[in-house]
Amino acid sequence: MRQRMIRALARSFRPWLIAIVLGGLTLTTAPTAVVHAASFAVTVTAAADSTNGCATSGMAPCSLRDAIGFANTHTGAANTTTITLPANSYALMSSLSVQANVTINGGGASTTMIDGRNSVRVVSSGGNLTINNVTIQHGKDTSGGGGGIYNAGNLMLNNSVVSNNTSTGTGGGIYNVSGTLALNNSAVSNNSAVSSGGGVYVNAGAITMTNSQFTANHVTGAPGPSGSGGGNGGNGGSATGGAISIILADPFSVTGSAFTENTATGGTGGAGIVGIAGGAAGGLFPAEGGAGTDGGSGGDATGGRSQSRRRTPSRSRGVPSPGIPRWEAMAALAATAAKAAAPLPPAAPAASAAPAASAAPAASAATAATHRVAPCLMAAARSR
């Protein structure tokens, strides 16, 4: 009995003995990390394009820039931020940048506008951006593409409008460099670009357009350079895709959409220029610039006609630019030559009264000048 009690006590104190031997160390197993999806909601309360601390706290007062900044601090496939954007006009001082999963819910496309003030691109996105019931307007890009939106991620527009945006390169309304672009019940109108894609330019990606409208988007080719020193004017730049210009899209789907009055116009040719007379001061025959020739040809224009279930032909045309007419150039050439052929006035007599015979060489020089100019006048008459 006594031995059984001693063995029972030994068993009960064994954990304490082990802890003492290990020097008081406690060994534990680390828990397995679990990733939970997080959803955030931010309401914009300030129309001014400012930073009010909301980007870190998510609390009011909060501008649209603050709200997107808050979303960008919660990146990751599992995190989403929904931004409520009440009806108002939100003028931007610089482009917005989205790098997370963001949904912007506006108060209606006719009353909720994000405005680039014809000065900056409205938004650049490399994340997953959904825009509902908002107008993207008056954006301007000078870096190559996307006056309204530059998309390198996944972009969806629902019941929204992209209008009156411009680019000095391609994609006046939207430039899709990669990723996906989806337009649902939306409108792309009155956007313009130089060279390609007045409404939308697609470099690559998957494109779907459903029940959407493309209206009065325009591309104008760059003008050709003027000639110099009597040279030809340069050709005008080409223009492609008044509504949409696509380099690569897989897949590309258009359903129930309309394309109306989208145009592509080739750039005007540069004007030929009459050369300017030069030559060293005091020379007997001033140097003459060559005659100006015709201006360059207008640029090619393609893609004005857009395919849709309800189709309205759009215009495509190249615009030539006449150079200076050849008869004007020849008249200028003949007038310059005649002026050079006129005899030089006799030099004033010196104070020492040089002999009269010294005037004869000057007359001979004038006669020789006339003989040398005569072939120039005859050549001008033959080429007229």
- What letters, b where the CB count within 10 A reaches 16 and e where it falls short, cover 108-128? ebeebbbbbeeebbbbbbbbb
My answer on whether 194 and 329 are in the same domain is no
Nearest to 197 by CA among 306, 64, 48: 306
- Structure-block tokens of residue 83: 């931004």
Q: Are residues 219 and 339 in the same domain?
A: no
Asked, for residue 84, whether it belongs to a domain, the answer is: yes
> Is the same domain home to 197 and 129?
yes
What's the pLDDT tens digit per position in 213-242?
999 999 988 877 776 655 666 777 778 889
Q: How many domains does the chain have?
A: 2
- Is 16 within a domain? no
Tokens describing residue 97: 């940048």
pLDDT of 156 reads 98
- Confirm whether pTM is higher than 0.75: no
Contacts of 116 (CB under 8 A, 6+ apart): 92, 95, 122, 137, 138, 139, 140, 147, 148, 165
Contact 314, 261 (CB under 8 A): yes
Tell me if 142 is assigned to some domain.
yes
Q: Is residue 330 a contact partner of residue 282, using CB atoms and an 8 Å limit?
A: no
User: 278 or 91, which is more confident?
Assistant: 91
pLDDT at residue 159 greater than cutoff 80: yes
User: 164 with 192: CB under 8 angstroms?
Assistant: no
Q: Give tens-digit pLDDT for 303-328.
A: 543 333 333 334 444 444 444 444 45
SS3 254: strand
Angle at 30 between CA 26 and CA 35, to 5 degrees: 155
Predicted confidence at residue 328, as pLDDT, reads: 52
Higher pLDDT, residue 111 or 276: 111
Does residue 247 sit in the same domain as residue 333?
A: no
Same domain, 370 and 318: no
Share above pLDDT 90 across residues of the chain, in percent, rounded to a whole number? 46
pLDDT tens digits for 163-214?
A: 999 999 999 999 999 999 999 999 999 999 998 999 999 999 999 999 999 9
CA separation for the pair 40, 67 (Å, rounded): 10
Residue 170 resides in a domain: yes
Is residue 18 in a domain?
no
Residues 295, 337, single domain; the answer is: no
Do 241 and 374 have their domain in common?
A: no
Length of the chain as a residue count: 384
Euclidean distance between the first and final Cα of the chain, in Å? 141
Q: Do residues 90 and 116 touch, judged by C-beta distance below 8 A? A: no
Q: Is residue 295 part of a domain?
A: yes
Same structural domain, 253 and 372: no
**pLDDT range class, residue 287, cuts 50, 70, 90:** very low
Mean pLDDT of 359-370: 41
Most confident of 18-32, 60-74, 153-167, 297-311: 153-167
Question: Does pLDDT of 122 surpass 90?
Answer: yes
The whole-number pLDDT of residue 180 equals 97
- Residues 55, 159, single domain; the answer is yes
- Mean pLDDT of all residues belonging to the chain: 74
3-state secondary structure string, 81-117? EEEEECCEEEECCCCEEECCEEEEEECCCCCEEEECC
Between 324 and 12, name the one with better pLDDT: 12
Instruction: For strands 79-85 and 101-106, give the pairing.
Output: parallel
Residue 117: pLDDT band with limits 50, 70, 90: very high
Q: Is 15 within the bounds of a domain?
A: no
Tell me the C-alpha to C-alpha distance, in Å, between residue 260 and each of 127, 134, 188, 305, 319.
31, 22, 11, 9, 22
Burial of 275 (0-12, 13-18, 19+ CB in 10 A): buried
Confidence of residue 20 (pLDDT cuts 50, 70, 90): very low
Report pLDDT for 358.
43
Q: CB neighbours of 330 closer than 8 A, spacing ≥ 6? A: 291, 380, 383, 384
Residue 351 has pLDDT above 90, yes or no: no
Both 271 and 368 in a single domain?
A: no
pLDDT digits (tens, 9 = 90+) for 291-306: 444 455 556 666 543 3
Kindly state whether residues 126 and 183 are assigned to the same domain: yes
Note down the domain range covering 59. Answer: 38-278+285-324
Average confidence (pLDDT) over 71-92: 92
pLDDT at residue 264 in the model: 87
- DSSP state letter for 262: -
Paired residues of 129 in beta bridges:
102, 155
Residues 268 and 367 in one domain: no
CA distances from 288 to 273, 280, 376, 381 (A): 13, 11, 11, 16
Q: Is 130 within a domain? A: yes
